[in-house]
Amino acid sequence: VAENDTHKRAETDWKEFIISKAMPTYEVPTNLTAIVGQTLADVTLPESFAWQDDTTTSVGSAGTNTFKVTYTPKDTTNYNTVTDIEVILTVNPKMEELNAIPIINASDKTLTVGDTFNPLEGVTASDKEDGDLTKVIEVLENNVDTSKASIYEITYKVTDSKGASSTKTITVTVKAKDTQNPTIDDNKKPSATDTDKKPASTDKQTTSNSPKTGDSTNMTTWLALMFVSLGLLAGVFTVRKSRKSR
């Protein structure tokens, strides 16, 4: 204070003030979710927050689990870092894809009596997860008897590594052997014309082709008369010619 009529003088005394860092304001993270099998590293926190536990820590089993985080303000000169903030993490069950049912590839068969038959020949099986399952196919039922013509059934079953199984039934038809017909020479086959025309009996042919006795006699007589007439005409012609010459 400057010296004046009231105050003769003023003295100065130094005082020390300690200004501490303030506690920052923040909002505790909410709606944090994870899936069974994940770790804290798979869960993203809001800006300025970090997991206090190691990020390789498992999120735990399905349900709600509590973990601690740290909040670090941007102005670390004037504000403190806050630790041990508890947050709730909702852990959901792992959504696993349903195990696909294996598929058996087998079709109906036709055999002939006496054929050799292997029920697994040409039969395959596959699975989406396990791939080729042909080697583990089971024959549940097989009553095929290739010595007898009939219709039989075969039932197959296959199971994958996760226990899913499927079955399939096919029909096996055993046919009787065909009877071979004798070979016919085409050159000796009768033509349609020949087969259609049935020959008349021998007796009828003989009768129809042989002239009757009466007809034969009449023919002879007629020929004789014709020759006589010709002879007479020739004689008359000769006589007339002789008269003319005289």
Q: Specify the pLDDT at position 35.
A: 93
Question: Residues spanned by CATH 2.60.40.10 within the chain?
Answer: 103-175
User: pLDDT at position 48, please?
Assistant: 95
Going by CATH, does the domain composed of 103-175 fall within 3.40.50.12280? no
Interatomic CA distance for residues 15 and 32, integer angstroms: 50
- pLDDT number for residue 202: 46
CA distance 64 to 34: 10
Which of 54, 56, 49 minimizes the C-alpha distance to 87?
Answer: 49
Cα 91 to Cα 238: distance, rounded to the nearest angstrom? 155
Spatial distance between the Cα atoms of 158 and 195, rounded to a whole number of angstroms: 64
> C-alpha distances in angstroms, 55 versus 35, 60, 182?
15, 13, 90
pLDDT of residue 191: 54
Question: Residue 49 in 3-state DSSP?
Answer: strand
Nearest to 106 by CA among 82, 125, 91: 125
Token pair for 109: 């068969």
Report pLDDT for 188.
Answer: 55
**Predicted pLDDT at 3:** 76
CA distances from 227 to 78, 224, 231, 234, 237 (A): 171, 5, 6, 11, 15
pTM: 0.42
Measured in degrees and rounded to the nearest 5, phi and psi for residue 122 equal: 80, 5
**Distance between CA atoms of residues 146 and 140, nearest Å:** 19
Edge-to-edge strand ranges of the sheet holding 124-127: 103-105, 124-127, 131-132
Q: What is the pLDDT along the chain (246 residues), one digit of tens a residue?
A: 677 777 777 677 788 889 999 999 999 999 999 999 999 999 999 999 999 999 999 999 999 999 999 999 999 999 999 999 999 999 999 877 788 899 999 999 999 999 999 999 999 999 988 999 999 999 999 999 999 999 999 999 999 998 999 999 999 999 998 766 555 555 555 555 554 555 554 444 444 444 444 555 566 666 767 776 776 666 656 555 555 444
In this predicted structure, what is the pLDDT of residue 184?
Answer: 59
